Amino acid sequence: MEIIVQADAERATELAARIIATRIRERPTLVLGLATGRTMERIYERLADMHRNGLDFSGCSSFNLDEYIGLEPDSPRSYHATMRRLLFDRVNFVPGRTHVLNGRAADLKREARDYEAAIRAAGGIGLQLLGLGETGHIGFNEPLSALMSRTRDKTLTPRTREQNAPFFGGDPDAVPSRALTMGVGTILEAEEILLVATGPAKAEILARAFEGPLTATISASALQLHPRCLVIADEAAAARLTNRSYYDFVFLNEPEWAPYREPGS
């Protein structure tokens, strides 16, 4: 695992977008695991810019982490619609190769099983992008999610509904109380994981997730088990990390990061 700290959210999301673009160029048939949330918006904006400058998604496919239960895919607040608006309508994925769980499926267990099967049929996820919930969730794996859990329905915490209320007119009660989400075990099967966290609201949970013990009460802590997990944070989100100088030293010395370091840093 590595943690790279950037001065601000703009630089953190820019770095994440550049790494994703590199992976797509290295493997044009990359299977992307995609996330939603405010942190992702700027990353998708940059990927859309890069697409205008030639970044090609035509060989790629994607699987989103989660979707609210009860929202029609056409509802503007669904993750289906959000992903179309932020990314799918702005780059050149082949239609049918972007996958988002259906929160209106009549049989949610079957929907979850079929989604897992579709991920396997695509050859598994190559690069999984993650945000970090204030409860420590990845996807919608709220506290006590089994660290080997698979795609299934979950009840959201009041805190998560509050965190996502801005997308629902500011009203936490308008946020659906349940969601379908890839499991922690599903996420851990990705070949490579990139988690991005910005802003002071993430500072405490980021430190607990990555410098604290592995625990089902913070599903992001399970990422400590993953052999290729990169965390990108801005200064505000990194404020509570205790081993910070070592992480900076690694970023400055690892040859892999040379192309991403700013001149003079």
In the complex, the residues that contact ligand GLP under the rule CB under 6 A are: 35-39, 65-66, 131-133, 139-140, 160, 164
Residue 57: strand, helix, or coil: coil
- The smaller minimum CB distance to ligand GLP, of residues 184 and 253, is found at 184
- Compute the distance between CA of residue 84 and CA of residue 105 in angstroms, rounded to an integer: 19
Count of helices and strands (H, E) across the chain:
8, 10
Q: In this structure, what is the dihedral angle of CA atoms 68, 71, 73, 75, given to the nearest 10 degrees?
A: -120
Nearer to ligand GLP, 103 or 131 (CB): 131
For residues 223-234, one letter each, b for 16 or more C-beta atoms within 10 angstroms of the residue's C-beta and e for the rest, the string is beebeebbbbbb
Q: How far is the CB of 1 from ligand GLP (least distance, A)?
A: 18
Least Cβ distance, residue 17 to ligand GLP (angstroms): 15
31 HSE (CA, 13 A, CB side): 17
Smallest gap, in angstroms, from Cβ of residue 184 to ligand GLP? 12
CB of 39 to ligand GLP, least distance (A): 3
Q: Which is nearer to ligand GLP, 35 or 231 (CB)?
A: 35
Which CB, 239 or 250, lies closer to ligand GLP?
239
Is the Cβ of residue 147 or residue 250 nearer to ligand GLP in the bound state? Answer: 147
DSSP state of 30: P
How does DSSP classify residue 101? Answer: -
CB of 249 to ligand GLP, least distance (A): 28
User: Helix, strand or coil for residue 235?
Assistant: coil
